[in-house]
């Protein structure tokens, strides 16, 4: 009577005789018919005992179940794991029930936490446990979390487990000496300074590229990107300052990496000084005796920090009075060096007229330097010479000066005139004047044959 889940096995068969003092055992079988609900049945024994012809025995039972239990270290925290890597933890599955546990599937709510794929149910006997591996494999930076779900025959239903992990980011830091100031560098030259890239994060840093905002600050072209920097390590990248023009320069160096904070930049600067021209020496000749040559030396110097390129040294206007007898230019003057220019003046102009010597260079402050060159021809007795040419009387006190003037200014012309006068005196003696015998040659000056050029060509301007 009661639950049909209880039955008495047919062995031994009844009826049967039990001798005095003898025991007979019967087996009661229980086959649960309801899950989780206690069942009750009455087992009745009928005999010829006059005092207890019927004895009822109560039988109770409940269907046994498996009980799923789980455990994972550190409350499911799988710690820090870098991108491109993974971490694994063991998930323990325990059966604290009385029936075998069958786990049919384990699933994860996140692709960054990988649960094992079960091709067949996982069997765990009562009181036993087993372990499965959970893998944390992050695909992006930051804190991560997932829920693992276990489906089994535990009547309590699915069991969930929460797991977590962290994917830390690398951290890029830039170091450049002197706050990025690369100092002075001449045009046509270059200077290198290291840009230090450090990884202050716990994971490998990947540098995608390095760029510069100016063609005068160059980043290496030999690097093969991407470049990786291990945690706590540093990498030196040479930055080259190679100016193409004079003056202060600046640029922004940008480093792109997988640091989630974004690109890092550093400001760099430098200066390209120029050569600086300086001219020493005097270009003032003053008065030069007629027909003579005088010389002056000018030193063209570079007082700057870099080479000075002097492209031309010449007079502004061509003149037969002036000439550069030594001109080493065009030439390059190194810092602190000088080259001499020698100027010649031929005393053939009567009035003082300045001439401009023009020096052309790449000095950005004074690309054209003009030096005023001044000289004039000094004739000692211009008045007397003019009177003599006109046949006018010249007092004796000017005789010596006139002769000196003729010798210095007229040279061979004076000698020819003396010879002509002497010949004329011999062939046609003139009447002597009462005043001075030593002026007869001057009186014949108007009868003297002239060269094609006038005397002013000899002692004045042509």
Q: Which residues contact 357 (CB under 8 A, 6 or more apart)?
A: 283, 298, 313, 314, 315, 316, 341, 343, 370, 371, 372, 373
Q: What is the dotted CATH code of the domain comprising 174-272?
A: 2.60.40.10
pLDDT attached to residue 428: 56
Question: Above pLDDT 90, what percent of the chain?
Answer: 58
Q: How confident is the model at residue 228 (pLDDT cuts 50, 70, 90)?
A: very high
Residue 416 has pLDDT above 80, yes or no: no
The beta-carbon contacts of 431-437 under 8 Å, at least 24 apart in sequence, are 436/396
pLDDT attached to residue 448: 37
> What does the pLDDT look like over 49-94, one tens digit per residue?
888 888 888 888 888 889 999 999 999 999 999 998 999 999 999 9
User: Among the listed ranges 159-168, 185-194, 419-428, which one has the minimum average pLDDT value?
Assistant: 419-428
Determine whether 346 is exposed, middle or buried from the number of CB atoms within 10 Å of its CB (0-12, 13-18, 19+).
middle
Give the CATH class of 68-167: mainly beta
CATH number of 277-378: 3.40.190.10, 1.10.10.410, 3.40.50.720, 2.60.40.10?
2.60.40.10
**Cβ of 91: how many Cβ atoms within 10 Å?**
21
Nearest in space to 331 (alpha carbons), one of 271, 281, 277: 277
Q: What is the mean pLDDT of the chain?
A: 83
pLDDT attached to residue 446: 39
pLDDT attached to residue 56: 83
Which carries the bigger pLDDT value, residue 351 or residue 181? 181
Report how far residue 320's alpha carbon sits from residue 344's, in angstroms, rounded to the nearest whole number. 10
pLDDT attached to residue 440: 38
Q: Where in the chain is the domain with CATH 2.60.40.10?
A: 68-167, 174-272, 277-378
Report how far residue 124's alpha carbon sits from residue 115's, in angstroms, rounded to the nearest whole number. 18
> What does the pLDDT look like over 245-280, one tens digit per residue?
999 999 999 999 999 999 999 999 999 999 999 999
pTM beyond cutoff 0.85: no
CA atoms within 13 A on the CB side of 109: 11
Residue 382 has pLDDT above 90, yes or no: no
Which carries the bigger pLDDT value, residue 352 or residue 175? 175
The stretch 194-204 carries a mean pLDDT of 95
pLDDT attached to residue 404: 57
């Amino acid at each position: 009577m009661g639950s049909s889940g209880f039955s008495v096995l047919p062995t031994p068969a009844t009826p049967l005789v039990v001798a005095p003092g003898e025991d007979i055992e019967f087996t009661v079988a229980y086959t649960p018919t309801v899950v989780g609900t206690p069942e009750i049945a009455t087992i009745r024994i009928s005999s010829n005992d006059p005092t207890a012809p019927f004895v009822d025995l109560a039988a109770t039972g409940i269907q046994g179940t498996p009980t799923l239990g789980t455990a994972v270290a550190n409350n499911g925290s799988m710690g820090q794991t870098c991108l491109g890597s993974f971490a694994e933890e063991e998930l323990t599955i325990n059966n604290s029930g009385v029936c075998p546990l069958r786990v049919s599937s384990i699933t994860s709510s996140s692709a960054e936490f990988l649960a094992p794929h079960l091709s067949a149910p996982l069997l765990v006997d009562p009181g036993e446990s087993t372990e499965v591996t959970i893998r944390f494999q992050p695909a992006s930076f930051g804190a991560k979390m997932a829920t693992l779900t276990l489906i089994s025959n535990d009547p309590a239903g699915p069991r969930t487990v929460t797991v977590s992990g962290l994917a830390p980011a690398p951290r890029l830091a830039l170091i450049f000496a002197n706050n990025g100031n690369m100092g002075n560098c001449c045009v046509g030259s270059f200077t290198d300074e290291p840009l230090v890239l450090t990884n202050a994060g716990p994971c490998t840093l990947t540098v995608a590229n390095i760029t510069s905002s100016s063609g005068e600050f160059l980043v290496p072209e030999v690097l093969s990107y991407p470049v990786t920097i291990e945690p706590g390590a540093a990498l030196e990248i040479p930055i080259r300052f190679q100016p193409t023009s004079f003056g202060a320069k600046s640029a922004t160096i940008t480093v792109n990496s997988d640091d989630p904070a974004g690109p890092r930049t550093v400001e760099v600067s430098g200066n390209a000084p120029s050569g600086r021209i300086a001219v020493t020496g005097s270009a003032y000749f003053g008065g030069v005796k007629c027909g003579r040559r005088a010389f002056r030396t000018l030193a063209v110097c570079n007082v700057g920090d870099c080479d000075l390129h002097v492209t031309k040294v010449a007079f502004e206007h061509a003149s037969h009075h002036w000439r550069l007898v030594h001109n080493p230019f065009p030439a390059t003057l190194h810092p602190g060096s000088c080259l001499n220019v020698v100027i010649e003046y031929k005393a053939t102009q009567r009035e003082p007229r300045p001439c401009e010597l023009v020096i052309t260079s790449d000095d950005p402050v004074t690309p054209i330097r003009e030096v005023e060159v001044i000289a004039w021809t000094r004739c000692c007795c211009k008045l007397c010479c003019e009177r003599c040419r006109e046949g006018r009387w010249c007092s004796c006190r000017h005789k010596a000066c006139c002769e000196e003037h003729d010798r210095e200014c007229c040279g061979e012309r004076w000698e020819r005139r003396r010879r002509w006068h002497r010949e004329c005196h011999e062939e046609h003696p003139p009447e002597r004047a009462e005043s001075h015998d030593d002026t007869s040659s001057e009186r014949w000056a108007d009868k003297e044959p002239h060269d094609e050029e006038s005397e002013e060509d000899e002692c004045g301007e042509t």
